[in-house]
Structures are given as C-alpha cells and as structure tokens.
Structure 1
Amino acid sequence: MIPPLPAKPRPGPPRRLFGGPGSLQRRLLLTAGACLAIALVAAGLSIGFILHRFVRGQIDGRLDDRILSLVSDLQPAADGTLSLGRDRDGPPFDRARSGWYWQVRRGEAVLRSGSLEERDLALPEMPVRRRDRDTPSPADGTGPWGEGLILRTLTVEGRASEPQTVYVASAPTAALRGPVLEALRTLLVCLGLIGLLLFAGVLVQVRLGLQPLRRLRDELAAVRAGELDRLPERQPTEVRPLAAEINALLHQNGINLEHARSQVANLAHGLKTPLATLSIALAETGGARDAALARQVDAMDRRIRHHLRRARTAAIGGSSRTRAHIAAHVADLAIALLRIHADKAIDFVNAVPNGLTAACDPQDLDEILGNLTENACKWCRGRVRVGAMREGKDVVIRVEDDGPGLDEAAMAEASIRGRRLDESRPGHGFGLPIAIELAELYGGSVVLGASELGGLDARLTLPA
C-alpha cells in the first residue's frame, strides 16, 4: 500500500526584515530611520550645548566667587603694597601649574596665588567698569606654561590719583572639557539605545500597519488556489474599497468562466462522440470511398479538437481557482467501478491522503481518473491501487493494477486515439487519449509504466 504523504505547504514569497527594493515597508523604514537619525543628532547637539553652558556657568560662578572674595579681602597699604585679610590659596588654587590661578594687580603691586609660582597672567584688553556696578567679565587666555585657561576678570577704577585694580581668576579648559566629554559619552550611549528602541517601535508599527496588505495578499493567493471563493468583507477601512473591487472582478470573471465552460462542454459533447463513431464506422467498412471519407472525418476531428482545445484552455485559464479533492473522487469512482465489475471481486485500494487537492475542474478530474481506473479494473486480475503524493507544485496520482501490463511498444500505441490493443474487450480506444488530452490542458501529463503489482502503472501529473 502506498503510504499517504502530507501535502506540502504552498511556498510563499521570502520575507525580508526591511522589505525588498521598492517596497512600501522599506520606504517607510528608511524615511523613519532618517528622521530618527536627524532628530537624535539634533538632540545630541542641543544637549551638548546645554551641558557646555551649564558646566561653564558652574566654573564661571566659582571664579566669580573667588574674585568677589578677593575684592572684599584686599587691604592696600599707604606705601602702595597690597595684602589680603586671610589666605585665599585653598584648593584647588594651591596646586602648582594646575590652571586654577588668581591674581590682583594695582599699578606695580601684584598679589598672586601660590599655584602661579611668581609668574604673571597675561590679560586680554577689557573695558573699565565702575565698582558699584562691577561684575566679572568672561575671557579666554593662555597660562604661563602655555595651557589653555578660562578667565574671569574684574577691573576697578581707583579714586582720584589711585591706579585701577585688576582682579583675575582662572580655571583650566580641561575643567570644562573633561566633564562635558564624560557627560557626552554617557549621553551618546543613551541616545543610541533610545534610537534603537524608537526604530524597533517604528519597525513594529510599520509591520502592524502593513499587516492588512499582507493578509490581503494571502487571501488573494487562497482565492487563486481555490481555498476561498472571494475576499472576506471584514477589512480595514482603507483596504475595504480595494477588497470590494477585487470581489466584484472575481464575481464577473466567475460568470464569464462558467459561461465559456458551458459552451465548450456543449460543443465537445455535441461533436466529439458523433465524429468518433463515424470514424470507427468508416474504418470498419474498408472501401476506397469510405477511406477518403474517413480521412475527411479525421481532418474535421483534428480541426475541431484543435479549436476545442484553444477554447477550453481559454475557458480554464483561471483553473487555479478550482480545486478538486482527489480522495473523494477516487472513492466515488471506486463505488461505481466495483458495481460494474462485481464479477471480478476487485480489491480496490484508495491510498490517496485526505486533503490532497489538484487544481482541476471536478468534472474533468472524474473523466481523467474514470478512464484510467476503468482501464485498470478492466485488465486487472483482482487488485487495483490508487495513490497520490505532492511533488513540489504538482500532485502525482498513480493508478496501478496487477494485470498483464504492456511492453514499451504497446504503451506507445495505447495513447493513439481509436487504437485498441485487444479487440476481445469492449471499448473504442478513446479513453487513454482523452485522459492524456485533458491532463495536458491543465499543464499535466499521463505517463505509462510498469507497476509494482505486476501490471500497468498510469502516472497522472496535475498542478496542485
């Protein structure tokens, strides 16, 4: 017994994470990714600018506090010297060459922080301010050892003949750059993670948003395969008009297809059988005149079959929407054939898996399988076996018997219309050629071979 094979699932188009070239998903994701990148870069620059302003403000405030404390503690002497009421070299102004310096200059008198090591700070030109409205001014400069400095200066005009007093406090640029860079490194990591999460959210949103289109594609494939008659009416608002138009088109095509098939079937039944009978009758008489008429009948038969084939092919151009369950048809044929050949007590084995289908009109499948199984029951000794399996995009149906079988020459002759290999058995010799012709109309074939049961193996191939 042929073991039933499960039908392979219909292969769908390969799924890509970002879609193929020209896809809506790819276009949406690229646009969203570009917008996210621009937004994250702008956010990084803005936050970096804010951080720079904040850290610079903290440093400026610290330096301004030092200058104001110097102003309040400065004690000029009558001889022109300067002194402070208390020590102002606390951390970080006590570390030599650290960039944290302060300096007070009035004329030739100078007070410096210990970190300057008796060196002077070069000051930029600054406007003179009155003391009652003085606030330190920002400036950038270079230290005695060439290091970059952040400067805060305050110039106070003296009374009468007193010279002006210049107060300076500085911090190294590293005090600004270091914290900002450290914060920016952490910020970039956070922005990167936020960007990934946002892009993942966009990806999910795009995939969910396009899911109705993918579902519509699968439903159209199911309609084409014969699993559905029409698209479901329950669709998203944006897709519903498209589904309605497709359903209307399917309905109209179905009406046209049914009309064309009816016309082809009527023409086939009206012409094929009388011509076949006339051809056989003329061949049996054997006269010269009858031979000439037989040739004309054969020419008519070929032309009619040619145009019928073209019309039938056009009529079943949408045959992929028609599906026939093979096991059910084989079971119905088995009941009829076992009654016809009740005298032989045939062991008819239906080994077709349930659910296996062929893209073929049910009436045509009955005609093809009917001819093949009829021949098998006619020539078998007592056993007929029908099995089927899925092979890629096709389904292969095997009709086997345990009869005498055929050699290669006889197999070739058996496919010729009207050729009978055994005149002792009833029939006209049209069964197998008709089965072959119908199978070829669906893009299939019928191949004869030797069966494992000892008789003939008719292998029918049809699109699944």
Structure 2
Amino acid sequence: MRPPLRHRFAALVGGSLRARLVASAALFVLVAIPLTGLVLAHVMEGVVRAEVAGRLDLQLSALRSALDDGPPLRPPGPREETGPREDAGPRGEEGPGGRAPGGRRAGLRLDWLGPERPPFDRPDTGWYWRVTVDGREVAASRSLRREALDLPEPDDEEPGPPHRLASAQTGEGEALLVRSIRFERDGREVRIDVTAPHAALTAPLRDAVLAVAGTLALLGVLLIVAILVQVRFGLHPLERLRASLAAVREGRRERIEGPQPAELRALVGELNALIAQDAAHLRQARLHVANLAHGLKTPLATLSAAAERISPPERRDEMQGLMELMDRRIRHHLRRARTAALGGARRHADVTRHAGDLAAMLEKFRDRDGVRIEARLPAGLVAAVDGEDLDEMLGNLLDNALRHARSLVVLEGALADREVLIRICDDGRGLSTDEIATVRQPGRRLDESQPGHGFGIPITAEIAELYGGRLDLGRAGEGGLEARLALPATAASPP
C-alpha cells in the first residue's frame, strides 16, 4: 500500500519548513503558469478568429451594398449565353464580374464596385470572394482567377457569430475559412461567399502564443526567485529566535530578548516562561543539595572524630581518607549550589588551558613510569561550564586512563555542531559492553585491587548532563577505553 500523498511530500522535502514552503509555492507556479497559458491561448484564438471574421464580414457588407445599390438583375442575354472571350478584361460585361460556371455569363454587372480592395486583388492568397445567382457564379475576386471552390452551404441567411467560421478548401487542397450570406433580390437567389486562408488564423495565433509563452516562462522564473527571497526573508525571525535560544543555552543570555513578529510573540513568551521555570527548578534543586550538604557536615565531623580512635593505624588512615574525600565532595557541591542560588551566570572555561594543565600535572605526579599523555587540542577551545567542574570531569577521566594505560593516553579536542568534543583514550585492555554499563553505576568497580572508589565516571557523567552535555564510553582505536565527553560550546570557541 502506497503511503499518503502528504507523507510522500514530507519525505521528498526532508522535513524542512523552508523546503516545504518553496516546494509548495513552486508547485503552484508550475501548475498555474501552464493553465494561464492555455486560457490566454483560448482567449487569443477567439480574438484572432473574431478579427478574421470581422474582416470577411466587412467584405460581405461591401459586396451586398454594391448589389443593393446596383442595377436590377436581368436574365442573361444572347451575348452572355455564348460564353466569354478569352481576352475579356477584368471589368464590364466580359470581365470577371460577369462569369458563370462553364464559361456562361449571368446578367449581373459589378463594374460599379470600383477598384478591387487588398488583399482580394492578389492571386493565390486565399483571400477570395464570389457571387452566385441561382447557383451560377456571376462575379468573383481578381485573386480567385479560375480556381474551383468547394464551399459548404450556409445554414442561415446571416453569417452568424465569429466562432462560426466555416472551413473549406480549393481544388488544389488549400485550407480556407469561409463567411457566407444568402438572400433574394429581384426574385432571384443571391449568395455571397468570402474566404480567408487558414494561415490568417494560425499564423498570428502562433506568434502571439510564442510571445505569451516566453513571457509566462520568464514570469515563472521570476516568481520562483521571488518565492525563495520571500521564504528566506519570512523565516529570518525564526533564525533569530534560534540564535537567541542558543545564547540562552550557552549562558550568554538569561532570556530571549529583542523585538519579535506578532506571530512569534506568544511563542517567545512561553519560551521565556519555560526558561524562568527551569532556572527556578534548578536553583531549588541546588538549594536542596546545599541543605543536604549542610546536613551532612555535622555527621561527617562526628565520623571524623570517631575515626581518630580507630586502631590499627592503617584502618584509621583509610577511614580518614574516606572522610576527607566526602568532605571535599560536599564542599564542592555546596559551592556550586550557593552560586546557583545567588543567580550567578554560567561561566566559560578554556578547555585547552585546563586540559593542558591537568595533563602536565598528572603526568608529572603519577607514580607509574613510562606512561605519557599526548594532548592534541586547538587553541581557544571554550566550553560553557564552570572551570572547577571541567577540572573535575577531566581529572576523573585522565586519572582513570592513566591507571589502565600501558604506555599512552591520548587527549584530543574539537568543536562540532556547537559542542566541544573531548576524547580521552588509552592503550590498555579496554572494557566490554557489560563492563561499561557496570562502571557507569556509582560505587561499582571492576578491579578492587586498584585505588579509587568507583565514583569518578558516574560523577563525570552527572556533571556533563547538568550542563546539557553527555559522556559516552567505547572501544578506542588504540586498543583501550575511549571516553567521549561532549559539552556545550560558547561563541568564543573557534570554528
């Protein structure tokens, strides 16, 4: 079963609003322009047909007026029965104004018509006229010479409307357009036929249609260009809105500001309300963290005092280390919660500088020899995070990589799609998919013989998510574990 037309159209334009607008408008233009051309061609055909019919009707009227103003029709005399002379002239009794079929003459003289009017004076042009009396041709145009005309009988005495141009042809097959009238005079039936070549209709129509088609094609191109400009101009406020939202996400603004079109004002108001609500929820959550941290300070101090009385000393030192670690974590989160509760703006951290300093320090003070850190970070790579949070995330990942590396830890950074991407990998044994899922859980460790508490990777992932980033773990090309940390970038980061 084929999908509906709207689904096929959506798949064709790729879900882009700009593509939808341009495609739908262009489709309308591509349909409307040919239809307009067909309508105009039909109208022009009617105009040209009416012009040709009017020209023929004018000749019909002139011939009938000449007959009405001329002498009465008389029966053929002895001279007319004998047929015309071969050298008969164009006027008078023996000219073309008095010939009948078979060379016989009727008793009608049209020499009072005066000179033949163009284009009926040029032979073989298709512009002909003839007058018949009682079915016998008594007069014809100079252009007709002696061609035989096979003309249909008129339906009415009057020629009728212009669209009733009849069709006929000469004995040589020349296509003609015909207007005819039939009436009685002096008791005899008179018929007047006037013809025009079929090209008199088709040639002007062809020229006009070609001119209109070229004009409509140019109009279609201009309309499509205008549509592209209009769509770009019309969607520009949406691009501005996207840039404003990106600035809010990166911490450069606290809300969407600036004038907005009437159609977007309600949307901008809802977005600002959502941003304010999200900020309030964040402050409230961090305030709860601060309260929790304050609540843990007293029990922690009590545990620290009790640890002083533990023996043997090795066990006491281990407990003191745990207390110091807990105290450091509590103070760190308390400081972050206090900053958020006071409405402090999100800070920007130079990833290149922080990562370089951490790599140099860890490489210098680690007790394992032969493991080096290779840093490959571009200058000026800035992330929209707090510097201390960045140090904690990078420190956890670098410390984990150094513990498991054989000889090399690689630290790389780049900017892609408004994100700072940091890659930390080692050449150790790496982790399987199940092991990666395990180490992402707080307090879970794979090797209890190694120092640590199993909170480094979960805390790093949590901090990254708080800033709208993420932490992914996988297999490194160097053979060990690869940690990919993505953080929101700021405008200060190089492209």
- Normalised to the residue count of structure 1, the TM-score between the two structures is 0.61
Contact residue 56 and residue 176 of structure 1 kept, 8 A: yes
Structure-2 separation of matches of 1:156 and 1:186: 43
Structure-1 separation of matches of 2:34 and 2:257: 46
Cα gap change, 1:418 to 1:147, in 2 (>3 Å): closer
- Aligned partner of 2:212 in structure 1 is 187
- Aligned partner of 1:212 in structure 2 is 237
Q: Secondary structure at the match of 2:262?
A: coil
2:76 maps to 1:83: no
> Highest relative contact order (Cα 8 Å, sep 6+), 1 or 2?
1
Contact residue 126 and residue 196 of structure 2 kept, 8 A: yes
Instruction: Report the alpha carbon displacement of residue 73 of structure 1 after superposing the two structures with TM.
Output: 5.0
- Aligned partner of 1:63 in structure 2 is 56
Instruction: Report the alpha carbon displacement of residue 437 of structure 1 after superposing the two structures with TM.
Output: 3.8
Structure-2 separation of matches of 1:356 and 1:375: 23
2:268 maps to 1:243: yes
RMSD over aligned Cα atoms: 5.7
Matches within 5 A, 1:129-208: 139-145=165-171, 148-159=175-186, 162-208=187-233
Instruction: Report the alpha carbon displacement of residue 30 of structure 1 after superposing the two structures with TM.
Output: 4.7
In the alignment, which of 95, 106, 109 is matched to residue 123 of structure 2? 95
In the alignment, which of 14, 20, 32 is matched to residue 14 of structure 2? 20
Q: Secondary structure at the match of 2:256?
A: coil
- Aligned partner of 2:414 in structure 1 is 390
Stretches of structure 2 lacking an aligned partner (at least 5 in a row)? 1-9, 77-106, 341-345, 366-373, 402-408, 431-443, 465-469, 488-495
2:54 partner letter: G
Q: Secondary structure at the match of 1:82?
A: coil
Cα gap change, 1:192 to 1:244, in 2 (>3 Å): same
1:188 partner letter: A
Cα gap change, 1:174 to 1:137, in 2 (>3 Å): closer
Q: Deviations over 1:287-321 (max 9, x none)?
A: 9xx89xx9xx99xx9xx99xx9xxx9xx9xxxxx8
Instruction: Report the alpha carbon displacement of residue 177 of structure 1 after superposing the two structures with TM.
Output: 2.0
Stretches of structure 1 lacking an aligned partner (at least 5 in a row)? 1-15, 316-320, 341-348, 377-384, 401-405, 410-414, 422-428, 450-457
Contact residue 388 and residue 398 of structure 1 kept, 8 A: yes
Structure-2 separation of matches of 1:26 and 1:322: 38
Q: Deviations over 1:307-354 (max 9, x none)?
A: x9xxx9xx9xxxxx88543356569989x99xx9xxxxxxxx999655
Structure-2 separation of matches of 1:218 and 1:34: 31
Q: How many residues align?
A: 384
Cα gap change, 1:194 to 1:24, in 2 (>3 Å): same
Q: Secondary structure at the match of 2:157?
A: coil
Structure-1 separation of matches of 2:29 and 2:291: 66
Cα gap change, 1:282 to 1:141, in 2 (>3 Å): farther
Cα gap change, 1:46 to 1:275, in 2 (>3 Å): farther
Structure-1 separation of matches of 2:287 and 2:241: 31
Structure-2 separation of matches of 1:34 and 1:283: 84
Structure-1 separation of matches of 2:377 and 2:18: 42
Structure-2 separation of matches of 1:372 and 1:282: 35
Contact residue 212 and residue 235 of structure 1 kept, 8 A: yes
Cα gap change, 1:350 to 1:276, in 2 (>3 Å): farther
Structure-1 separation of matches of 2:224 and 2:283: 51
- Aligned partner of 2:351 in structure 1 is 326
2:413 partner letter: M
Contact residue 137 and residue 152 of structure 1 kept, 8 A: no
Identical aligned residues as a percent: 31
Structure-1 separation of matches of 2:398 and 2:152: 111
Q: Deviations over 1:219-263 (max 9, x none)?
A: 323433444432223322321221122112112211211332343
Structure-2 separation of matches of 1:214 and 1:165: 81
Instruction: Report the alpha carbon displacement of residue 107 of structure 1 after superposing the two structures with TM.
Output: 2.1
2:133 maps to 1:106: yes
Q: Secondary structure at the match of 1:389?
A: strand
Cα gap change, 1:332 to 1:420, in 2 (>3 Å): same
1:127 partner letter: E
Structure-1 separation of matches of 2:486 and 2:413: 12
Contact residue 93 and residue 115 of structure 1 kept, 8 A: no
1:438 partner letter: I
Q: Secondary structure at the match of 1:99?
A: coil
Structure-2 separation of matches of 1:87 and 1:41: 47
Matches within 5 A, 1:408-423: none
Instruction: Report the alpha carbon displacement of residue 191 of structure 1 after superposing the two structures with TM.
Output: 0.8
In the alignment, which of 246, 251, 260 is matched to residue 221 of structure 1? 246
- Normalised to the residue count of structure 2, the TM-score between the two structures is 0.58
